[in-house]
Chain A
Amino acid sequence: MDLTIFNAVIAVVIAIAFAAANAAYLVLAERRGAGRIQRRPGPNVNLFGILQPPCDGIKLMTKQLMIPGGADKALFMVAPVLAMAPAIMSFVTIPFSDTIVAHSMNIGVLMIFAFASFGGMAILLAGWGSRNKYGVMAAVRAVSQNISYEVPMLITVITVVMMTGSMDLREISLSQSGGIWNWNIFPISMKDGFMLQPMMPISFLIFFICSLAETNRAPFDLGEAESELVAGFHTEYGSMGFGLFFMGEYANIVIGASLITILFLGGWDCPLGLYPGVWWFLLKIYLLIFSFIWIRWTFPRTTIYGLLNLSWKILIPISLFNLLLTAGLLKVF
């Protein structure tokens, strides 16, 4: 597939539109979901609050962007953009179905992770640039969290890549096609001959936890722990600066859910092998996003040391063991 400028522009526009629409309506979904969980209505004016996201958007955009005195202006302005832009760029490589993909490249996984690590950068700049003690503390927390959760996440991805033999997200999806028994989450894969991988459900779990942590979602939302650090790294942000952080968070959630779907749940494949297509992909990512929302409104927040211990003492050893096991199994079968 050759990438002309025209194609690239269209791809980016669609990616931005998809990300923005998702961000706006996931906020509504989250608030409705929270309302449901907490036995209250949530936003419900005009047809389930369908106009709530545009209203929020208008409110945020018409507000004045305040830059606190003494803040580093450049960093302060760059940080929200840096939170949003990589998330949108990541959409370019995500295959929604066999044919719907903006630009399929053979290092798709790598690219998404490269962009994802910008997220930590954005938080660091926001906290540092806004000259707020709470902001700096949150930034330090969030960066150490992002770094320690990228390690088990990447090791798990390497496991999947080893099993598939490709870093192309489309290839990875295609290799799992043909029904639920071929998906990477299941220990037994029968695609090309018999293949036993008993650790894959655990890999899935590790990846799921890591993507919760990478997107700074509860119970790992230490970067914006509101009862300790007021609003964390975006304490000083108002108007669209805050809006971009918010949208970036939801765009990252969509990307996390998409990655889980592609790497473990067979992408656009139907569980029974019938009618594969984009609808299965969307169904899977929204189910995963719902589980994110569910977790957020059920669990209290962890502590920073509990979080780091979980990564370094539990997740990384397990995922390393898993990597070795997979390598061994690949050699055997």
Chain B
Amino acid sequence: MSGPIHIRKDETFTLNVGPQHPATHGVLRVKMEMDGEYIVKAETVLGYIHRMHELMGENRTYPQVLPNLSRLDYLGAMGYTHGHVLAVERAAGIEVPERAEYVRAIMVELNRVASHLFWFGAFVMDLGGFTPLMYAIEDREYILDMLEAVTGSRLTYCYFRFGGLYNDVDDDFVNAARAFIPRMRKSLKKYDALVTGNIIFRKRLENIGPISAEMCRKYGATGPVARGAGIDFDVRKNEPYSVYPEFDFDVPVYHECDSLARYKVRMDEMEQSLRIIEQGLDKLPEGPIMPKKKPKLIKPPKGDYYQAVETARGSFGIRIVSDGTKNAYRFKLRSPTYSNMSLFDEACEGMMIMDALAMMGSLDLVIPEIDR
């Protein structure tokens, strides 16, 4: 990029990108001070679809609030409900059968692949290429069909239960998942050939939208954004939960800090997720999916509990402060996109609007999850 030589700060105009704008993929608003095509200052305005999930978490019982969690992020809902059940299980001390743990991991990883696929399509569409979106949606459709057959829903899953699962997976699912893995690997190769190697695509992402490791730490960015900045942090590896220690997978890290690095991290993560699914299907033990002994009413003992999980967008944390009743005293959600979004204001200063919006696409924003 031939950077701005001189930005005039005295002759600017305000450009409202959003709340309805094709690039923001939802009701996010960015107030931009512009000097021509250059951004002098950007201010993110949030809260257009704030639904008070945290307050709802305090006014409802733990099982009642479970479906709320899948409304946070409509693309990777499985990971968020996983976080909630893990947090409550930790708080109430519920044991989970091994089969349920494996099925959970497989489901979460399938959902991660679906989420990354949709992001891939939407991101390339942000850059003006519409066709990859259709290819990505076609692959995602297979995952959604598989998940629908087991969980009953296609987008906002409420499949996990405290202590286990809602219902067991059958052979059809296992076979479909096995058939999906080689298919997806083939697709990934195709995406590489169609998009990653494209010169226009690379020119638009290489050395554009630098987000350094310091900036990530400053704003608490996690997930592919941080890994694209060279921070080797993945909750699945660093604070292992569920059965993730049993799996052999790598955490892709790139040190270029640009939009292309974040793109590559996600593309590699899909391959790693496929590896996890493959191993999970191989190791899937027989057995019950719900524990024999489970309290009828979930009343965690007094205390402060925190559980982080790695969702498709980064580290998602749930903090439950329990006062021993059936409702949480404090229910705090730490959503990864909120932190990833907050660095946009600083990172996009001095950039051209089209590069800034390409960078925004590489952050993988899901607005309901920012606003909660």
Give the interface of A toward B (CB within 8 A).
34, 37-40, 133-134, 137, 140-141, 218-219, 221, 225-228, 230, 297-306, 309
Offer 15 A-B interface pairs, CB within 8 angstroms, sorted by A.
A38-B131, A39-B138, A40-B134, A140-B36, A218-B128, A227-B23, A228-B23, A228-B354, A230-B21, A303-B203, A303-B354, A304-B354, A305-B1, A306-B203, A306-B204
B13 touches A133 (CB 8 A): yes
| Separation of A137 and B203 alpha carbons in the complex (Å) | 22
When A137-B37, A227-B128 are in contact, do A300 and B1 touch as well, CB less than 8 Å?
A: no
In addition to A38-B134, A38-B135, A227-B357, 6 A-B residue pairs with Cβ atoms within 8 Å of each other are A37-B131, A226-B128, A228-B357, A300-B128, A300-B129, A303-B354
A227 touches B126 (CB 8 A): yes
B352 touches A300 (CB 8 A): no
For residue B361, which residue of chain A has the nearest CB?
A: A227
| Separation of A228 and B37 alpha carbons in the complex (Å) | 11
For residue A140, which residue of chain B has the nearest CB?
A: B36
B129 touches A301 (CB 8 A): yes
| Separation of A140 and B13 alpha carbons in the complex (Å) | 15
B125 touches A227 (CB 8 A): yes
Residue from B1, B126, B130, B355 in contact with A297 in the complex, judged by beta carbons closer than 8 Å: B130
A299 touches B129 (CB 8 A): yes
Cβ-closest 8 pairs across A and B: A301-B128, A300-B129, A38-B134, A300-B127, A300-B128, A227-B126, A227-B23, A228-B354
When A38-B134, A230-B21 are in contact, do A133 and B128 touch as well, CB less than 8 Å?
A: no
Residue from A137, A230, A299, A309 in contact with B200 in the complex, judged by beta carbons closer than 8 Å: A299
Closest-CB distance, A189 to chain B (whole angstroms):
32
Closest-CB distance, B33 to chain A (whole angstroms):
12
B204 touches A303 (CB 8 A): yes
| Separation of A40 and B141 alpha carbons in the complex (Å) | 14
B175 at interface (Cβ–Cβ under 8 A)? no
Residue from A38, A230, A298, A302 in contact with B204 in the complex, judged by beta carbons closer than 8 Å: A302
Report chain A residues within 8 Å CB of B1. 303, 305
Report chain B residues within 8 Å CB of A221. 128
B22 at interface (Cβ–Cβ under 8 A)? yes
Report chain A residues within 8 Å CB of B203. 302-303, 306
Q: Could you count the A-B residue pairs with CB atoms below 8 Å apart for me: how many are there?
A: 83
| Separation of A262 and B174 alpha carbons in the complex (Å) | 60
Report chain A residues within 8 Å CB of B124. 300
B204 touches A304 (CB 8 A): no
B329 at interface (Cβ–Cβ under 8 A)? no
Report chain B residues within 8 Å CB of A137. 36-37, 353
B149 at interface (Cβ–Cβ under 8 A)? no
When A38-B134, A302-B203 are in contact, do A227 and B2 touch as well, CB less than 8 Å?
A: no
B15 at interface (Cβ–Cβ under 8 A)? yes
Report chain B residues within 8 Å CB of A218. 128
| Separation of A286 and B146 alpha carbons in the complex (Å) | 43
| Separation of A66 and B127 alpha carbons in the complex (Å) | 30
B244 at interface (Cβ–Cβ under 8 A)? no
For residue A301, which residue of chain B has the nearest CB?
A: B128
| Separation of A305 and B354 alpha carbons in the complex (Å) | 10
| Separation of A227 and B355 alpha carbons in the complex (Å) | 11
| Separation of A150 and B158 alpha carbons in the complex (Å) | 58
B238 at interface (Cβ–Cβ under 8 A)? no
For residue B125, which residue of chain A has the nearest CB?
A: A227
Closest-CB distance, A143 to chain B (whole angstroms):
13
Candidate in B34, B36, B37 with the most chain A CB atoms within 10 angstroms: B37
B201 at interface (Cβ–Cβ under 8 A)? yes
Report chain B residues within 8 Å CB of A227. 22-23, 125-128, 357
B125 touches A228 (CB 8 A): no
B130 touches A304 (CB 8 A): no
Report chain B residues within 8 Å CB of A134. 15
B198 touches A300 (CB 8 A): yes
For residue B205, which residue of chain A has the nearest CB?
A: A300
For residue A219, which residue of chain B has the nearest CB?
A: B200
Closest-CB distance, A275 to chain B (whole angstroms):
38
Closest-CB distance, B364 to chain A (whole angstroms):
15
List B134-152 residues whose CB lies under 8 Å from chain A: 134-135, 138
| Separation of A299 and B132 alpha carbons in the complex (Å) | 10
Closest-CB distance, B241 to chain A (whole angstroms):
37
For residue B134, which residue of chain A has the nearest CB?
A: A38
| Separation of A192 and B336 alpha carbons in the complex (Å) | 72
| Separation of A218 and B198 alpha carbons in the complex (Å) | 14
List B20-38 residues whose CB lies under 8 Å from chain A: 21-23, 34, 36-37
Candidate in A225, A227, A303, A305 with the most chain B CB atoms within 10 angstroms: A227
Residue from B36, B126, B134, B354 in contact with A39 in the complex, judged by beta carbons closer than 8 Å: B134
B128 touches A219 (CB 8 A): yes
List B332-372 residues whose CB lies under 8 Å from chain A: 352-355, 357
B15 touches A133 (CB 8 A): yes
| Separation of A36 and B13 alpha carbons in the complex (Å) | 43
| Separation of A38 and B135 alpha carbons in the complex (Å) | 7
| Separation of A304 and B15 alpha carbons in the complex (Å) | 18
Closest-CB distance, B25 to chain A (whole angstroms):
10
Report chain A residues within 8 Å CB of B13. 133
B22 touches A230 (CB 8 A): yes
Report chain B residues within 8 Å CB of A133. 13, 15, 34
Candidate in B125, B134, B135 with the most chain A CB atoms within 10 angstroms: B134
For residue A226, which residue of chain B has the nearest CB?
A: B22
Closest-CB distance, A162 to chain B (whole angstroms):
32
Closest-CB distance, A186 to chain B (whole angstroms):
27
Report chain B residues within 8 Å CB of A298. 129, 131, 194
Report chain B residues within 8 Å CB of A305. 1-2, 352
B352 touches A39 (CB 8 A): no
Report chain A residues within 8 Å CB of B194. 298
For residue A38, which residue of chain B has the nearest CB?
A: B134
Candidate in A299, A303, A306 with the most chain B CB atoms within 10 angstroms: A303
Report chain A residues within 8 Å CB of B135. 38-39
0/1 interface trace, chain B 190-208, chain A, CB 8 Å (1 if under): 0000110010110110000
Report chain A residues within 8 Å CB of B21. 230
Closest-CB distance, A298 to chain B (whole angstroms):
6
Candidate in A38, A219, A228, A300 with the most chain B CB atoms within 10 angstroms: A300
| Separation of A225 and B22 alpha carbons in the complex (Å) | 10
B204 touches A300 (CB 8 A): yes
